[in-house]
Amino acid sequence: MNKLKLVEVSKSFGGHRAINNISFEVEEEDICVLVGPSGCGKTTILRIIAGLETPTSGKIFYNNELWNEIPPGERNVGMVFQNYALYPHMTVYENIGFPLVINKQDKKFIAQRVIEIAKLLNLDEKLNKKPKELSGGERQRVALGRAIARRPKIFLFDEPLSNLDAKLRVNMRTEIVNLCRALRIPSIYVTHDQIEALTMGNKIIVLKDGEIQQIGSPNDVYNKPANTFVATFIGLPQMNIFKGRIINSVFHEENSLFTINLPLPIENSEELFLGVRPEDLFIASEYETMLKTVVKTYEFVGYETIIYFEHYGRLFSFILPKEKSRPKIGENIGLSFDVKSIHLFDSNGRRIVLSLY
Ligand code: ATP
């Protein structure tokens, strides 16, 4: 089983620490997604794996081989970037075959391999075209083809779909996932798009300021976020986070928006955070209402409507299913949520495990 492993890897540029103490493993069946806001260190991690940057400290292993001293050209890493980086004067055939030419493979082998890859990526009709004669999706497939020509040991994708329109992006996500699965190569995929992360990865690594916030399955990072950063970064619209305190196992929102009995005895606390996802809040009958508010604005997105309300200068939201009638802006509404759907975080924003659920 082929495996890439990073152990306590850090990288500083001058005095600035771009990544700090990063450790994770990627196995051959994994599509590991690095997700986080701009500047959190995603590209730096890929560049260190590819050998284009030297870590300030820490180790990189491919299986049991220490990669730190192995030059980039000998690591055999397949990389795919946002801007395709195709050679404009070469045909599709020449672009895909280029790494094999550089590697001094014989012509017959190159022809066989390029044709095999072109079939795999549905480019066999385009082999004589130049990149400018191709659509964005086809160009990205050529870039994929070039990346797999040398049967790489690992695959690195750096926001490869950012230049494509929304529909093509969705199709290409599936193509990339299928390709990685078929080739069984440890794959790392960088994105700042959390939907892309959840749909493509089986292992998600959420980063902030060069540090790992959580490693988990899509289900883990969505349903059991390790802290308030992950809770609000993963999921759209973002999780509502209410600040408050706990007295006798009752959460009191700080500005008296609501109180809720917690399902387990929990220590009194002066400051902590309660999270509720927008899809877990709903318009309630007078009898069920937990919090009263006023509709501030809404966004109609076809299959549902996102309704926003304001409380002490902050916006919160909930999802109104398509079949429900929409309240008007300015209308008074009563909302409720199930205690089973809440997330609790301590004063440092770290998840408090409510082991009942
Ligand atoms: P984005 O999503 O915007 O591409 P990212 O998560 O990929 O961002 P990196 O490009 O890895 O982030 O950058 C991480 C931090 O390291 C940033 O603060 C960046 O300015 C800094 N950095 C990256 N490369 C260099 C460099 N060669 N010299 C100095 N600072 C750098």
Question: Which amino acid is located at 168 in the chain?
Answer: L
**Tokens 């990627």, residue located:** 26
How far is the centre of ligand 1, averaged over its atoms, from the C-alpha of 124 (Å)? 38
Question: Which amino acid is located at 68 in the chain?
Answer: N
Distance of CA 326 to the CA centre of its chain: 32
At 294-349, the pLDDT tens digits run 999 999 998 899 999 999 999 999 999 988 889 999 999 999 999 999 999 999 99
Q: What is the CATH number of domain 3-233?
A: 3.40.50.300
Residues lining ligand 1, CB < 6 A?
Answer: 13, 16, 18, 36, 38-44, 192
At 158-208, the pLDDT tens digits run 998 887 778 778 888 888 898 888 889 999 999 988 889 999 999 999 999
How far is the centre of ligand 1, averaged over its atoms, from the C-alpha of 146 (Å)? 26
Q: Is 151 helix (H, G, I), strand (E, B) or coil?
A: coil
How far is the centre of ligand 1, averaged over its atoms, from the C-alpha of 42 (Å)? 8
Residue 245 · residue 252 · CB < 8 Å? yes
The domain limits of the chain are 3-233, 240-352
Full-model pTM: 0.91
At 215-232, the pLDDT tens digits run 999 999 999 999 999 999
How far is the centre of ligand 1, averaged over its atoms, from the C-alpha of 288 (Å)? 49
Exposed / middle / buried, residue 13 (Cβ in 10 Å: 0-12, 13-18, 19+): exposed
How far is the centre of ligand 1, averaged over its atoms, from the C-alpha of 54 (Å)? 14
Strand-pair partners of 179: none
**Residue identifier of the C-alpha nearest atom 29 of ligand 1:** 13
At 235-271, the pLDDT tens digits run 999 999 999 999 999 999 999 999 999 988 888 888 9
Residue among 22, 35, 43, 161 whose CB has most ligand 1 atoms within 8 A, to mutate: 43
Residue 136 to residue 139: CA distance in whole angstroms: 5
| CATH superfamily membership of 240-352 | Nucleic acid-binding proteins (2.40.50.140)
